[in-house]
Structure 1
Amino acid sequence: MAALVFLIPLGWGLRNDHREAALEEAARRTATVAGAISAGAGDRGVAAAVQAAGGNPVVHTPGIAPTAGGRADAALIDRAATHPEPTVEEVAGGVVRLQPVTVNDKTLVIEAFVPDPVLNENTARDWWLLLGLAVVLVGGAVFVVDRLARGAVSSARNLVDAALAVGDGDLGVRIQPSGPRELAEAGYAFNRMADRLVTSRTDERELVADLSHRLRTPLTALRLDAEALDPDDTQIIDLTADEVDRRRGIRRIRQAIGTLEDEVNALINTTRQAVAAQVAAPEDGLCDASEVVRERMMFWSALAGDQDRQYRVVGAHLRVPVPVARAELAAALDAVLGNVFRYTPQGTAFEVGLSRRDGWVALRVDDAGPGIPDPERALRRGQSNQGSTGLGLDIARRVAQATGGSVSLDRAAMGGASVVMLLADADATPKVPSRFGLVGRGRLTRERDPGRRRWQRPGRE
């Protein structure tokens, strides 16, 4: 359409230019003869002027028969004689240019004939050239558009294939954004969506693993209570029938607890194997760390009494707000305390301390056990020297990192392991964390508090 719009008017304009050139040549010839007549040249002078003009002009006298050799009839000649300016009239085979000349009150009409081949000279050639140019332009436009469309279609096809692959469960598919800006932006958006899906899937699996790990806390309590029961040996001959049934019940309880622990461990390990990235930060929230410590110690104090463990709580008598969800902080504290009960001998003392300074809150759990031989490995998710799932310390680390803090392991003053969770203080502006002093090794976690509790020997609840 663009070629037709521009080339057709151009071709028509070239045709008119050729006609104008031919008529200008006819005007030159008639002007030569008219000049000779106006100058008063005789018949010989006029004949010479006609010959000089190429022999084509013919001189007519209005009112009498047209001169031989002319193409205009008497009517055209008479009408041209009455016009002061030259006229151009169409006749058979071309056009004639009629120019009136008045000398001594006598009017003559000079005719110059221009045949059609002269009028249309080179017009056909111009049309063929324009037609060829139109074909080239259209062909080039088709080629360019095809290239552009091929790139856009290829980008769209890659986007569709990647979307289908993600729909089939392949979350590792990514595309190289290309094509028009809109498709490139769609490609970048698709990659961000795929990354978000991977993160969401990872978060979901990690959440399952962490929730499963939380089940170990009540399981630990059940296992410890079951171990405190009487033996389940039924091979002694002098047992009564009721005693045999009771011991068989104890055996079933212990077997059920062991089976449940195995199932929970299998669930944690299976879920962890499918995880490709660390879990996202815990949910936003705000809780009182002191209240969480007091609440959880009410639960663990019963187990401490069953195992003859001495314990004390330091600094949990004042409100200490931290930007962590209550359930998350409780799960982190349970994970650390669960390790103390699980991996230290019965009767091992422990201490839970809470302190705050300079915009940070240190939650410390010390024990008098054998300690942790490889702290760096213990902090890596899924790593354990005791044959467990290795998620306990990782849960605490993620909760601390969600507030900008950290978790550190060291030798406690009691002789065993010391696990310190460094959390941001919700009532202060956090500063750059330090591994010394605030994380439980210096005055913050060791200073005496007038309200802290002394060593206690808990009784059974």
Structure 2
Amino acid sequence: MTAATTAVAALAFLIPLGWELRNDHREQAMSAAERQSAKVVGALSAGAGAKGLAAAMAGSGGRVKVYAPGATTGGRAPADEVRQAASSGSTVTQEVDGGVVRLEPVTAGTRTSVVEVFVPDSELSAGTAGDWWLLLGIALALIAGSVVVVDRLARGAVNSARNLVQVAMAVGGGDLGVRIQPSGPRELAEAGYAFNRMADRLVTSRTNERELIADLSHRLRTPLTALRLDAEALDPDDTQIISLSPDEIDRRRGIRRIRQAIVTLEGEVNQLINTTRKAVAAQVAAAPETGVCDVSEVVRERMTFWSALAGDQNRNYRVAGASVRIPVPVARAELAAALDAILGNVFRYTPQGTAFEVGISRRDGWVAVRVDDAGPGIPDPENAMQRGQSNQGSTGLGLDIARRAAQSAGGSVSLDRAAMGGASVVMLFSDAEATPKQASRFGLVGRLARERGGRPARSE
């Protein structure tokens, strides 16, 4: 199809060019005849004799004929054309056998002669055949070149389209890590880039979805931990050591069933978290929720929830800095989940009766939420900050939930040794009412430690 198009375009251009070259050759031959005729006409006009006329006609090869006044025969031109040229006084060109004659009248006194110059067909078409062969060669070269170029372009387009189909089939088959190297025409290259972006977004969406499932599952651990601790505070569930009444046996069996159900539910939640995490190919930051919440209000609300459990376990606690409104650019639910995750670790991994403290500090465009405890601390803080890592037999997502909530507000999470002797977890957020500056996390954490140094924990 492309070769035919190229051939038509070449012919449409080369045929008129060849015809124009043919006309140029004819004009050159007629110009030469005109110059030859002009020599003879000049000699006749000057009244040259027989010798002068012969000299003017020299080199013509017998192609020049002079008709005397009144004569119309002896040459190649028809008699009528000779008479017309003589009577009209204008030059006449007439085709004859074997070529073309040019008749030019010349008047000397009252008598008119006619000069005939014959131009054979060989001179009229001289060089025309070579021009046509040259143009034909150019046309064939153009067609061959177009075939080669189009073949290469078509091969590249076909290969690009084939690669795109193969990669799409692979992604459709579940291989989300395969990508295409964009190539070929611009449209196919753009399609390749668009496909890669689509595949990246698909991977991110699936990863975020699984991360969300794991995080939501971990949030179930907060009320589940409270239920487990409350169940542990109930009476023993042993029904075999001592003699009990039927009602007491039923009550203790009920306590045992509650504890067993909590253990089973806790195991199912852990299994859901672990199974979801195994399906995540790489850590991809999920898109955070947008919004602004009051840190102080969230802390007061969550401490109201945890205070009952703290009272049951005889834990002294203190809340500092939560009396004024301090907005941060993080969703309320995310901040509450992060705080619950940290407090849940305190209740889960420190002995009953261990004191803790929750403090809020605001400085230089940053807001710090600190949770300290008087427990044994965290042996490997760096390992604990990694998602899914824990040396306590848990899923290890608690600190990661806090880290992601802080990072969504432009901050971070750090671990340190608390002045109370245990672990100190600090969530750093950018202040929603101030222009964020360069974070000085360690200086802020040190200042917090100095401010609370030497003050014993007390219950409120």
> Are 1:136 and 2:136 an aligned pair?
no
Rounded to whole Å, the distance in 2 between the matches of 1:26 and 1:261 is 115
Partner of 1:150: 155
Q: How does 1:211-230 map to 2 (within 5 A)?
A: 211-230=216-235
Match of 2:386 in 1: 380
Corresponding residue of 1:56: 63
Aligned-residue offset at 1:236 = 4.2
For residues 56-455 of structure 1, what are the structure 2 equivalents within 5 Å? 56-61=63-68, 63-67=70-74, 70-236=75-241, 238-275=243-280, 276-439=282-445, 441-442=447-448, 445-446=451-452, 455=458
SS at match of 1:147: helix
User: Contact (CA 8 Å) 1:437, 1:444: kept in 2 or not?
Assistant: no
Structure 1 CA distance for aligned equivalents of residues 72 and 406 of structure 2: 121
Normalised to the residue count of structure 1, the TM-score between the two structures is: 0.90
Query: Quick check: 2:409–2:430 contact (8 Å CA) kept in 1?
Result: yes
Against the structure 1 CA distance between its residues 301 and 21, is the aligned structure 2 distance closer, same or farther, given a 3 Å change threshold?
A: same
Separation of aligned partners in 1, 2:59 and 2:127: 26
Residue-by-residue CA offset, 1:222-261 (whole Å, 9 max, x unaligned)? 1112212233333347344433333332222222111111
Q: Secondary structure at the match of 1:419?
A: strand
Q: Residue 260 of structure 2 aligns to which amino acid in structure 1? A: Q
For 2:415, the aligned partner's letter is: L
CA distance in 2, matches of 1:376, 1:174: 34
The answer (yes or no) to whether the contact 1:96–1:112 under 8 Å persists in 2 is: yes
More deviation in 75-84 or 191-200?
191-200
1:350-384 CA-to-partner distances (Å, cap 9, x unmatched) read 11112222222221111111111111111111110
1:205 to partner: Cα distance: 1.2
Q: Which amino acid aligns with 2:36?
A: R
Letter in 2 for 1:312: R
1:8 to 4, 15, 24: 15
Note if contact 2:419-2:453 (Cα within 8 Å) is conserved in structure 1.
Answer: no
Cα distance, 1:80–1:336 mapped onto 2, change above 3 Å: same
Give the number of aligned pairs: 452
Q: Give a deviation string over 1:325-353, Cα, whole Å, max 9, x none.
A: 11111101110011111111111111111
Alignment RMSD, CA only? Answer: 2.5
Describe the superposition over 1:274-310 as per-residue Cα deviations: whole angstroms up to 9, x where unpaired: 2212332531111111111111111111111222212
- Label 1:305 to 1:237 Cα distance change in 2 as closer, same or farther (>3 A): closer
Which runs of 4 or more aligned residues in structure 1 lie more than 6 Å from their structure 2 counterparts after TM superposition? none
**Identity across the alignment (%):** 74
Contact 1:62 1:74 in 2 (8 A): no
Tell me by how many angstroms 1:440 deviates: 5.7
Q: Distance in 2 between matches of 1:73 and 1:61?
A: 15
- Deviation larger for 39-48 or 252-261: 39-48
Give the aligned partner of residue 3 of structure 2: none
Kept in 1, the 8 Å contact 2:357–2:457? The answer is no
SS at match of 1:438: helix
In structure 1, the residue matched to 2:4 is none
Q: In the superposition, relative to structure 1, how do residues 237 and 421 fare at CA in structure 2: closer, same or farther (>3 Å)?
A: closer
Cα distance per residue 1:391-436 (max 9 Å; x no partner) = 1011111111222222111111111111111122222222222233
Q: What SS does the corresponding residue of 1:439 show, helix, strand or coil?
A: helix
Change (3 A) 1:280 1:410: same
Q: For 2:170 and 2:306, how far apart are their aligned partners in 1?
A: 49
CA distance in 1, matches of 2:135, 2:410: 74
Bigger shift: residues 264-273 or 335-344:
264-273
> Distance in 1 between the 2:453 and 2:12 partners?
92
* 8 A contact 2:72–2:83 mirrored in 1: no
Equivalent pair of 1:355/1:361 in contact (CA under 8 Å): yes
Q: Residues of 2 paired with 1:125 and 1:51: CA distance?
A: 30
In 1, the alpha carbon distance for the partners of 2:320 and 2:167 equals 56
Shift of 1:86: 2.5
CA deviations over 1:197-234 (Å, ceiling 9, x no partner): 22222221111111100000111111112212233333
CA contact (8 A) 2:383 2:390 kept: yes
Unpaired runs of 5+ residues, structure 2, are: 1-7
Match of 1:34 in 2: 41
Provide the secondary structure at the position in 2 that maps to 1:312.
strand
**In 2 relative to 1, CA 341–373 (structure 1 residues): closer, same or farther, beyond 3 Å?**
same
| Displacement after TM superposition at 1:46 (Å) | 3.8
Instruction: Quickly say closer, same or farther: Cα 1:89–1:390, change in 2 above 3 A.
Output: same
